């Protein structure tokens, strides 16, 4: 899509977002393309009753990417509130680190053995999680992915934070604006196998190829959503690419770690930094001029909507089939599109003008 020329003539990213979102209503929302011909489980008709009540006494198990994460703590808080408000039990099993895919598989197996009614997971890897999730589905456990998807045949619904195409474009725009849409950029990502980051990077590359020919990605590093590794990888990118003009970090952990280093390094003011971060993490670095703008959605809302999807699935109100809507109390009505994807809405862009309005 040729959008760079149009976007450069506008002043605010809000205007850009409105423009783009209006024209991309039908794009996919970050769900990876199935790499086989399996029929998605959510496309298989199952008997549902849209008038059924939400059951009480269910057990909903959340599996975030990692235990020690401000982002997943917020998402878990939203999930717990939704589940307990509706009279059910919230449990969470988290691997120690985001690089620990086997820890996520173990968490899924443990929740399965426990006999939970639904599993809500941010999948760290498509391939590693699918077999375990398929077994859970075969047991009659409903599976919702949130934040990071697996294959459609391995879950019922994916609650996506935003359209992946829009996120790819916003990242390119945020960094492009700051470097005059010209020069070398790099990406500091999270886990190498993380479906969400890999999908956004793919869309970033598409955008660059399509309308930003004078910007070039010269390096992609993976900090595994570990602060120390992210910082080290950021320093490596800076050292290996002396002409680097900017870095995009589409992970809250990577962006914070990079900003922390940049704020006290000689690169401050020379290399632009943006990406996805929480306002509370990023406030000091916006205030001290290290970071101009970055974006995110409300992680707590993401957790709430994912929990409501799980409750509706486990109550037999919906099956994940396209068109079968569910009500997320406090947020609204969501209708899965093709492949069972539900999109939360538009991400927010934060900067010095609005950051103090947000507290998460």
Q: How far is the CB of 106 from ligand RAM (least distance, A)?
A: 19
Instruction: Give the number of other Cβ atoms within 10 Å of residue 91's Cβ.
Output: 16
Q: How far is the CB of 38 from ligand RAM (least distance, A)?
A: 25
Q: How far from chain centre, in Å, is Cα 114? A: 27
What b/e sequence results for 45-84 when a residue is b if at least 16 CB atoms lie within 10 Å of its CB, and e otherwise? eeebeeeeebbeebbbbbbbbbbebbbbbbbbbbbbbbbe
Which of 231/317 has CB closer to ligand RAM?
231
The structure tokens listed for 264 are 């006290």
**Closest among 204, 205, 262, 196 to 231, alpha carbons compared:** 262
Which of 66/324 has CB closer to ligand RAM?
66
Comparing every residue's Cβ against ligand RAM, the nearest one is: 71
Please report which helix (H) or strand (E) contains residue 60, including its range: strand 59-63
Which of 122/274 has CB closer to ligand RAM?
122
- Residues of this chain that bind ligand RAM (CB under 6 A): 65, 69, 71, 122, 147-148, 190, 196, 225, 251-253, 276
Q: How far is the CB of 72 from ligand RAM (least distance, A)?
A: 7
Q: How far is the CB of 314 from ligand RAM (least distance, A)?
A: 24
Is the separation of the CB atoms in 308 and 144 below 8 Å?
Answer: no
Which of 315/348 has CB closer to ligand RAM?
348
Which of 42/199 has CB closer to ligand RAM?
199
Which of 196/312 has CB closer to ligand RAM?
196
Which of 117/298 has CB closer to ligand RAM?
298
Q: How far is the CB of 90 from ligand RAM (least distance, A)?
A: 20
Q: Please tell me whether residue 269 adopts helix, strand or coil conformation.
A: coil
The span from the CA of 315 to the CA of 328, in Å, is 14
**156 DSSP 8-state letter:** S
102 φ/ψ angles, rounded to the nearest 5 degrees? -65, -30
The span from the CA of 182 to the CA of 125, in Å, is 33
Q: How far is the CB of 264 from ligand RAM (least distance, A)?
A: 23
Q: How far is the CB of 71 from ligand RAM (least distance, A)?
A: 3
């Amino acid at each position: 899509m040729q959008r760079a020329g149009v976007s450069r003539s506008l002043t605010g990213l809000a205007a850009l977002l409105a423009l783009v979102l209006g024209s991309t209503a039908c794009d996919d929302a970050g769900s990876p393309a199935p790499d086989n011909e399996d029929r998605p489980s959510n496309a298989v008709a199952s008997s549902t009753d849209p008038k059924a009540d939400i059951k009480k006494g269910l057990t909903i198990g959340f599996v975030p990417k990692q235990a020690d994460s401000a982002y997943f703590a917020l998402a878990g808080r939203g999930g717990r509130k939704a589940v307990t408000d509706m009279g059910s039990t919230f449990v969470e099993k988290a691997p120690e680190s985001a690089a620990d895919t086997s820890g996520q598989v173990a968490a899924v197996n443990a929740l399965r053995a426990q006999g939970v009614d639904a599993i809500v997971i941010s999948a760290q890897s498509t391939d590693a999680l699918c077999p375990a999730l398929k077994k859970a589905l075969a047991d009659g456990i409903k599976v919702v992915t949130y934040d990071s998807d697996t294959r459609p045949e391995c879950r019922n619904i994916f609650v996506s934070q935003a359209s992946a195409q829009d996120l790819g474009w916003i990242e390119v725009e945020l960094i492009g604006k700051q470097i005059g849409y010209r020069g070398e950029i790099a990406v500091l990502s999270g886990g190498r196998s993380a479906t969400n980051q890999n999908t956004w990077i793919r869309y970033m590359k598409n955008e660059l190829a399509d309308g930003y020919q004078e910007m070039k990605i010269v390096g992609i590093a993976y900090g595994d959503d570990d602060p120390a590794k992210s910082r080290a990888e950021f320093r490596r990118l800076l050292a290996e690419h002396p002409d680097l003009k900017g870095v995009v970090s589409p992970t809250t952990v990577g962006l914070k770690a990079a900003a922390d280093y940049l704020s006290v390094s000689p690169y401050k003011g020379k290399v632009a930094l943006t990406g996805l971060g929480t306002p509370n993490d990023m406030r000091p670095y916006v205030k001290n001029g290290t970071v101009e703008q970055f974006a995110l959605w409300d992680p707590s809302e993401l957790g709430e909507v994912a929990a409501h999807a799980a409750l509706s699935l486990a109550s037999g109100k919906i099956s994940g089939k396209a068109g079968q809507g569910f009500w997320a109390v406090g947020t609204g009505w969501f209708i899965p599109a093709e492949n069972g994807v539900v999109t939360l809405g538009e991400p927010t862009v934060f900067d010095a003008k609005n950051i103090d309005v947000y507290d998460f």
